[in-house]
């Protein structure tokens, strides 16, 4: 894909969804009962179920079975890279400026191209399992220095393997879903015993998530150089966290209720084919990984990431941090290879999140925990309000994009508002 490729659909230069992108999602048109699969193009959604019905999309691997009239992307994701590439080529052709099939058929165009503003965007994938990694060296170093001192910032195993924990798939929600402040056990250092109350330290975590396409069989690890054959695409992730609950509960088994109250993802899944022009070198890994984690070539992606925060009295959201996905120490390929190295079987629709992505500068930290250094250095908003952690009615919006020559390949946004704790 190059910047010379254009669609007959008008797309603004700063749109996240030019013809070079074509991300997949699940949507429901206003007034319709049944969701279906669509592709974003500018401010429009291309209804793939209509194209499939009209015989304009050919998927030989399906044996005549329809794929794009489903409630999730799973049926398409499990078909593998050859099918994904074929459909991408067909969609690019149909949307190209010089192709008349869709461009010149007014009736078909009215049915197949729908204004995004008039559609409801839904959770794109039926998620079976959710794994949250801890793969940003800067984030792990910041958190470790905060609680253990800079000399013991990284755990002894951190530079040798991608650390992760098993999250809760049932509470993964699509962008725009508001979440309630969780209740839980907390214990300040000076308290004799814990208490049960609403968290006073709710945080956001800027992450990127990878959806698994075809899985692997139980007992058969995925080689690191074949890992991306199992990876369908990426979404933005806000892994909401209750830091005070986490501090009390995480020893010895790690995060539990502090994380499982909600994880937000963006509605459009950006494929690795769209991201291929933006491959870049990741951080130098020292010491070199063990053989099963060693990779060749560029394994990172140059994705600009931003976090914006808006209180209930602010007229607009304010950027509080900006970082880049290329800072991630452990790559997606290494995460998949390590996850399956013991024979664990990944399945279609599994979500693997990167963990908080922080950069080298103070304004590139991907969580409030880091931005305020554990609440000790409050963040001042433009209207003078201070934040140590999130307050009720605060809205967090994250966005990300790759900048091409005259076009962007973006993710849209993932947004959510923190509501008061349930009575």
- The rounded distance, in Å, linking the Cα atoms of 229 and 222 is 9
CA distance 371 to 358: 10
Residue 47: burial class (beta carbons within 10 Å; 0-12, 13-18, 19+): buried
| pLDDT for residue 423 | 83
From 184-188, 251-255, 313-317, 343-347, the region with the lowest mean pLDDT = 251-255
Q: What is the pLDDT of residues 412-422, one digit of tens each?
A: 999 999 999 99
Q: Which of 290, 242, 263 is nearest to 352 (CA)?
A: 263
What's the burial of 386, exposed, middle or buried (CB within 10 Å: 0-12/13-18/19+)?
A: exposed
Query: Is the pLDDT assigned to residue 220 strictly greater than 80?
Result: yes
Residue 33: its pLDDT value, please?
Answer: 86
What pLDDT does residue 2 have? 44
Calculate mean pLDDT across residues 202-222: 98
* Mean pLDDT, range 258-274, rounded to an integer: 98
Q: Which of 139, 230, 327, 338 is catalytic?
A: 139
108-156 pLDDT per residue, tens: 999 999 999 999 999 999 999 999 999 999 999 999 999 899 998 999 9
Given a cut of 90, whether residue 364 has pLDDT beyond it is yes
Contact 37, 46 (CB under 8 A): no
- Alpha-carbon span 72 to 70, nearest angstrom: 5
* DSSP E strands, 22-158: 24-29, 36-41, 44-47, 113-115, 119-122, 130-133
Q: Helix H segments across 149-261? A: 243-249
pLDDT (tens digit per residue) in 272-292: 999 999 999 999 999 999 999
At 53, give phi and psi (nearest 5°): -65, -35
Task: Write down the pLDDT at residue 205.
Answer: 98
Residue 58 pLDDT more than 60? yes
Residue 3 has pLDDT above 70, yes or no: no
338 has catalytic annotation? no
Q: Using pLDDT thresholds of 50, 70 and 90, give the confidence band for residue 60.
A: confident
Q: What is the pLDDT of residues 379-413, one digit of tens each?
A: 999 999 999 999 999 999 999 999 999 999 999 99
- Average pLDDT value for residue range 332-338: 98
For the whole prediction, is pTM greater than 0.95? Answer: yes
pLDDT for residue 227: 98
Strands 351-353 vs 130-133: parallel, antiparallel or unpaired: parallel
Averaged pLDDT, 8-18: 96
Residue 63 has pLDDT above 80, yes or no: no
- Quick one: pLDDT at residue 354? 98
Mean of the pLDDT values across residues 305-309?
Answer: 98
Give the pLDDT score at 1.
40
Closest to 303 in 3D by CA, of 416, 399, 405: 399
Question: Distance (Å, rounded) from C-alpha 101 to C-alpha 31?
Answer: 27
Average pLDDT of the chain, as a whole number? 96
Mean pLDDT of the 315-325 span? 97
> Please, are residues 42 and 15 in contact by the beta-carbon 8 Å criterion?
yes
Q: Does 31 score more than 80 pLDDT?
A: yes
């Amino acid at each position: 894909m190059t910047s010379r490729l254009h669609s007959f659909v008008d797309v603004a230069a700063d749109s996240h969804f030019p013809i070079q992108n074509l991300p997949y999602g699940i949507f429901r048109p206003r007034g319709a009962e049944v969701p279906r699969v669509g592709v974003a193009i500018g401010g429009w959604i291309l209804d793939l179920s209509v194209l499939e019905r009209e015989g304009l999309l050919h998927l030989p691997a399906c044996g005549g079975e329809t794929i794009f009239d489903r409630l999730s992307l799973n049926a398409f994701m499990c078909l593998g890279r050859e099918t994904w590439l074929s459909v991408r080529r067909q969609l690019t052709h149909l949307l190209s400026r010089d192709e008349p099939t869709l461009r010149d058929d007014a009736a078909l165009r009215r049915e197949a191209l729908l204004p995004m503003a008039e559609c409801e965007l839904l959770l794109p994938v039926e998620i079976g399992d959710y794994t949250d990694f801890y793969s940003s060296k800067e984030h792990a170093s910041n958190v470790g220095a905060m609680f253990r001192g800079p000399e013991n910032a990284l755990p002894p195993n951190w530079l040798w393997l991608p650390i992760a924990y098993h999250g809760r798939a049932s509470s993964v929600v699509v962008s725009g879903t508001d979440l309630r402040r969780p209740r839980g056990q907390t214990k300040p250092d000076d308290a004799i015993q814990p208490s049960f109350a609403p968290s006073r330290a709710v945080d956001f975590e800027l992450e990127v998530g990878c959806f698994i396409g075809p899985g692997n069989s139980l007992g058969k690890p995925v080689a690191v150089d074949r890992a991306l054959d199992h990876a369908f695409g990426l979404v933005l992730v806000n892994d909401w966290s209750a830091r005070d609950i986490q501090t009390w509960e995480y020893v010895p088994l790690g995060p539990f209720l502090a994380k499982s109250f909600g994880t937000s993802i963006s509605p459009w899944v950006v494929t690795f084919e769209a991201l291929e022009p933006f491959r870049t070198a990741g951080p130098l890994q020292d010491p070199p990984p063990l053989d099963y984690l060693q990779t060749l070539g560029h394994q990172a992606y140059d994705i600009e990431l931003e976090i914006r925060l808006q209180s209930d009295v602010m007229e607009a959201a304010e950027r509080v941090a900006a970082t880049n996905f290329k800072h991630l120490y452990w790559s997606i390929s290494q995460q998949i290879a390590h996850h399956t190295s013991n024979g664990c079987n990944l399945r279609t629709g599994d979500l693997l999140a990167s963990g908080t992505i922080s950069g080298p500068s103070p304004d590139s930290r991907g969580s409030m925990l880091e931005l305020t250094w554990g609440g000790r250095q409050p963040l001042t908003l433009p209207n003078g309000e201070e934040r140590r952690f999130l307050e009720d009615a605060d809205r967090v919006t994250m966005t990300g994009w790759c900048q091409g020559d005259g076009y962007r390949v973006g993710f849209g946004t993932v947004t959510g508002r923190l509501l008061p704790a349930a009575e």
